[in-house]
């Protein structure tokens, strides 16, 4: 992909500027008004999961789930993926054997439950094909808006980099992750919470596992980004794949880059050389990922799609009603699950 000079733009100035509509198997959620806010009047003995759309605005995903759980007096709520906080989003959720009266009486200023139907299965993480985004970027220089709009229209694919937020402030998550991979327990513990301990490994075992995994995943992500960046600089071609196609180490037509682990097998050819060079540049080996002292952090390794096709692209430029004298750009597009809209946008914009 040709190097593009990025332009400054404001993102999520208002929740309505960042709309996310989930796409699943045989369903498409929308934030449009619906005619069906009313749940079924009776329970279904054969299908025990009540599916519905959760539409929310300017509220954190997990807080929204907690609010619904409290109101419906149940912890049995399933969803396919989390959605942004400062945004207007719609997604499918499932509720196991709900109290229909509580569902009928549910009311919240930032949450709507709609489009109900019974189903035999629970919605789980990963049960989605992708998301449709409708995004308004603001406070853009007029000349920049014209230039960048033309470049986006000509786009067919973009690198599937991990976003910089994954790495933490000043890449702090990566630093901690490497300390853990190097078994430098005392240093890692001090970086995490400033503590010193006579038995730092025992102290690390008490830290939330999701947080600990985040540190290791950040290292995998940084190595992935570095490999992909170098590969694209050298014009290595990657095959575009759909979500239904399995990512493998195809030696002729690679579609993915590695997420390093102790069981990783490098690609052949120049891509494999790059992988090994990047891993060495990070002063790591594959065996570093086999953290037997903290088994839940052991990483076998896997693949991640290298490049992503952008679908259903729409783009419009107009005067910005919020920032006089500037332009706003409206973008609508569909991305597969696991790919973030900001990853796409950061190819063109300096987001603030």
Cα angle at 333 between 329 and 335, to 5 degrees?
135
> Could you tell me whether strands 18-24 and 88-96 are parallel, antiparallel, or unpaired per DSSP bridges?
parallel
Residue 226, H or E segment: helix 209-233
Nearest CA to 52 among 3, 104, 91?
A: 91
What residues contact residue 149 under an 8 Å CB cut-off, 6+ apart? 315, 317, 329
Token match 């170098």: residue? Answer: 230
How far the first Cα of the chain sits from its last, in Å, is 24
Count of beta carbons in the 10 Å neighbourhood of residue 341: 20
Residue 35 has what pLDDT?
Answer: 59
Using DSSP's 3-state secondary structure scheme, residue 269 falls into helix
Low-confidence ranges of the chain (pLDDT < 50): 244
CA gap 32, 27 in Å, rounded: 14
Count of beta carbons in the 10 Å neighbourhood of residue 71: 16
**Total residues belonging to the chain:** 352
CA gap 90, 30 in Å, rounded: 6
Residue 252 has what pLDDT?
Answer: 57
Catalytic residue numbers? 84
The pTM score is 0.82
Q: Are 306 and 315 in contact (CB under 8 A)?
A: no
3-state helix, strand, coil in the chain (%, to 5): 30, 25, 40
Residue 339 has what pLDDT?
Answer: 85
- Residues 104-109: contacts with CB within 8 Å, 24+ apart? 104/38, 104/39, 106/68, 106/71, 106/72, 108/67, 108/68, 108/71
pLDDT 10s digits, 219-266 = 999 999 999 999 999 999 998 876 545 555 555 578 999 999 999 999
CA gap 282, 303 in Å, rounded: 19
What residues contact residue 66 under an 8 Å CB cut-off, 6+ apart? none
Residue 3 has what pLDDT?
Answer: 67
Nearest CA to 219 among 268, 286, 267, 272?
A: 286
Task: Say which DSSP state 154 is in.
Answer: T
Residue 48 has what pLDDT?
Answer: 92
């Amino acid at each position: 992909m040709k190097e593009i000079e990025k332009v400054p733009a404001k993102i999520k100035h208002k929740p309505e500027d960042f709309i996310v509509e989930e796409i699943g198997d045989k369903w498409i959620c929308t934030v449009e008004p619906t005619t069906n806010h009313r749940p079924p009047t009776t329970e279904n003995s054969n299908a025990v999961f009540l599916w519905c759309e959760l539409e929310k605005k300017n509220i954190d995903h997990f807080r929204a789930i907690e609010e619904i759980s409290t109101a419906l007096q149940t912890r049995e709520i399933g969803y396919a993926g989390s959605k942004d906080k400062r945004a207007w989003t719609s997604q499918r959720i499932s509720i196991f054997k709900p109290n229909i009266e509580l569902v009928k009486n549910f009311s919240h200023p930032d949450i709507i439950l709609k489009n109900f139907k019974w189903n035999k299965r629970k919605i789980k993480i990963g049960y989605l094909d992708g998301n449709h985004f409708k995004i308004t970027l603001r406070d853009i220089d007029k000349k920049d808006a014209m230039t960048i709009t033309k470049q986006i229209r000509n786009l067919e694919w973009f690198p599937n980099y991990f976003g910089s937020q994954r790495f933490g402030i000043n890449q702090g998550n990566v630093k901690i992750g490497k300390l853990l991979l190097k078994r430098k327990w005392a240093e890692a513990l001090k970086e995490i919470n400033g503590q010193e301990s006579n038995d730092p490994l025992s102290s690390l075992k008490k830290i939330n596992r999701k947080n600990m995994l985040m540190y290791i995943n950040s290292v995998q992500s940084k190595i992935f980004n570095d490999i992909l960046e170098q590969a694209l600089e050298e014009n290595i071609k990657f095959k575009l794949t759909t979500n239904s196609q399995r990512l493998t180490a195809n030696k002729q037509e690679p579609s993915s880059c590695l997420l390093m682990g102790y069981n990783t097998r490098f690609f052949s050819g120049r891509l494999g050389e790059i992988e090994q060079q990047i891993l060495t540049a990070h002063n790591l080996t594959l065996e570093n990922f086999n953290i037997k002292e903290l088994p839940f952090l052991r990483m076998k390794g896997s693949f991640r799609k290298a490049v992503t096709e952008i679908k259903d692209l729409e783009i419009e430029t107009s005067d910005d009603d919020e920032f006089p004298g500037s332009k706003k750009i409206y973008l609508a597009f569909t991305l597969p699950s696991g790919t973030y809209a900001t990853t796409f946008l950061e190819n063109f914009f300096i987001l603030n």
